[in-house]
Structure 1
Amino acid sequence: MNDSTPPRLSRESVVRAALELLDEVGIDALSTRRLAERLGVQSPTLYWHFRNKAELLAAMAEAVMQERRQQPLPAPGQSWQSWFIANAHGFRHALLGRRDGARLHAGTRPQGALFDDVEAKLGVLCAAGFEPVQAIGLLLAVSRFVVGWVLEEQAGPADDLAAGNGPDAARHPLGANGWQELAKESPDAIFDRQLRLFVAGAEGMIGQRTG
């Protein structure tokens, strides 16, 4: 291995190529060997920038969030509730924007500039009346909800709520009724309704001291 970093590669160019490869082959087929082939280098060259595949995947997940960076602060006059909902929608669409985006993100933690965004969001929630532990718990809960939701979206068929896929109305009338109503709505609308359950529950925590 040479004593200097190959000049034609940068950390950013490696991540960009890795995301393009992810969209083409999916996370299971993504390997440093295939990435090196795409970049026209030997696999050890990548270790100038990333010590292992796990570190590369973490950088890719961070890049996905930066691509569609969520609104860290409410717009003038915007309520914390509408800002919170908009952020969650933005997070979901960022994950949906990449093949296996939810699997890529699962298990990662904020790093780098993303900690600044987290701190700004916590500031908004604390200004609305939440204690820090409540605010960070709420962000954690909705983050895991969104990742889990998108995991299901990306793993299952696009028409999994089609009317013909639901329960039998004779045996399960309540389930069939609910299923048929959901089948009339868009995936965005269904997600939005469930997301608002978080807001409704969170509103009840304001003013309640923990511990």
Structure 2
Amino acid sequence: MSPEKRTPLDRRRVAGTALRLLNEVGLDGLTLRAIAHELDVKAPALYWHFKDKQALLDEMATEMYRRMAAGVALDAADTWQERLLKTGRGLRAALLGYRDGARVYSGSRFTGTDHARELEANLRLLTEAGFTLAQAVDAGRTTTVYTLGFVAEEQGVRPLPGERREGYDLAERARLLSGFPLAAEAGKLLFDDYDRQFEEGLALVIAGIEARYGIG
């Protein structure tokens, strides 16, 4: 009997497996050896596709972007504010789908040009609204960096939805800071209701862009 035919190994299959494994072991536990074991191949087989772990992270971030872009509906009738809201919300949702998602995505380099279509559309919408190209780039980058930083902090407390790291008990924090009543009360605002926190911060970013460039 002939052996069962295996699905050919390629970069996207390896990245998809790595993203699935990421939720189980986290970034620090994600190794090429563990991924190879999951794929039922020898670790050296992965080096035909990725020279090192950073190259794999780049492909993982690219695959995260592909999945995010597929789930975000861009509308040519969007205002620039609506487009930045969609960008920030879509990125946050994508990152929250993976343990350490923000850490994987931050600082990674896209491995192809899949992002160019959405980037071109966003820059065109902003420049047609009155931004210079430099201003449009700064506005988009600021929104992205805010989102990445926010999710990194959020995942430091809640690695995945429904989880909470030890040490973030709000009642215990309030007890320890009882001599500092404002700081104690702030814990409820800092370490809970992340949806509200994110939306308020994103609104502040967009209001700041409006004020800075005078474009309503």
Same fold (TM over 0.5): yes
Counterpart of 2:59 in structure 1 is 59
Moved more, 143-152 or 185-194: 185-194
- In structure 1, the gaps of 5 or more residues are 1-5
Shift of 1:96: 0.6
| Cα separation, 1, equivalents of 2:173 and 2:150 | 19
**Would the alpha carbon gap of residues 92 and 42 (structure 1) be closer, same or farther in structure 2, given more than 3 Å must change?**
same
| Cα separation, 1, equivalents of 2:169 and 2:205 | 23
Indicate if the aligned counterparts of 2:83 and 2:122 stay in contact, CA closer than 8 A.
no
Counterpart of 1:99 in structure 2 is 99
Q: Does 1:203 align with 2:204?
A: no
Number of residue-to-residue matches in the alignment = 201
TM-score, scaled to structure 2: 0.80
Moved more, 188-197 or 167-176: 167-176
Structure-to-structure mapping, 1:184-195, within 5 angstroms: 186-195=193-202
Give the partner amino acid of 1:203: E
Indicate if the aligned counterparts of 2:57 and 2:104 stay in contact, CA closer than 8 A.
yes
Shift of 1:84: 1.2
Counterpart of 1:43 in structure 2 is 43
| Cα separation, 1, equivalents of 2:65 and 2:193 | 24
Indicate if the aligned counterparts of 1:92 and 1:146 stay in contact, CA closer than 8 A.
yes
| Cα separation, 1, equivalents of 2:29 and 2:171 | 34
% of aligned pairs identical? Answer: 35
Indicate if the aligned counterparts of 1:72 and 1:120 stay in contact, CA closer than 8 A.
no
| Cα separation, 2, equivalents of 1:178 and 1:30 | 35
1:56 is paired with a residue of what secondary structure?
Answer: helix
More helix by share: 2
**Would the alpha carbon gap of residues 125 and 40 (structure 1) be closer, same or farther in structure 2, given more than 3 Å must change?**
same
**Would the alpha carbon gap of residues 14 and 183 (structure 1) be closer, same or farther in structure 2, given more than 3 Å must change?**
closer
Deviation sequence 1:31-63 (CA, Å, 0-9, x none) = 111111111111121122222221111000111
| Cα separation, 2, equivalents of 1:203 and 1:173 | 35
2:213 is paired with a residue of what secondary structure?
Answer: coil
> What is the CA RMSD across the aligned residues, in angstroms?
2.8
**Would the alpha carbon gap of residues 44 and 185 (structure 1) be closer, same or farther in structure 2, given more than 3 Å must change?**
closer
Give the partner amino acid of 1:114: H
TM-score, scaled to structure 1: 0.82
Shift of 1:115: 2.5
- In structure 2, the gaps of 5 or more residues are 1-5, 159-163
Quick one: which of 158, 173, 190 aligns to 1:165?
Answer: 173
| Cα separation, 2, equivalents of 1:13 and 1:147 | 25
| Cα separation, 1, equivalents of 2:117 and 2:89 | 20
Structure-to-structure mapping, 1:52-201, within 5 angstroms: 52-69=52-69, 71=72, 73-74=74-75, 76=77, 78-110=78-110, 111-156=112-157, 158=164, 160=168, 162=170, 165-166=173-174, 171-176=179-184, 179-180=187-188, 182=189, 186-201=193-208
| Cα separation, 2, equivalents of 1:129 and 1:163 | 48
1:26 is paired with a residue of what secondary structure?
Answer: helix
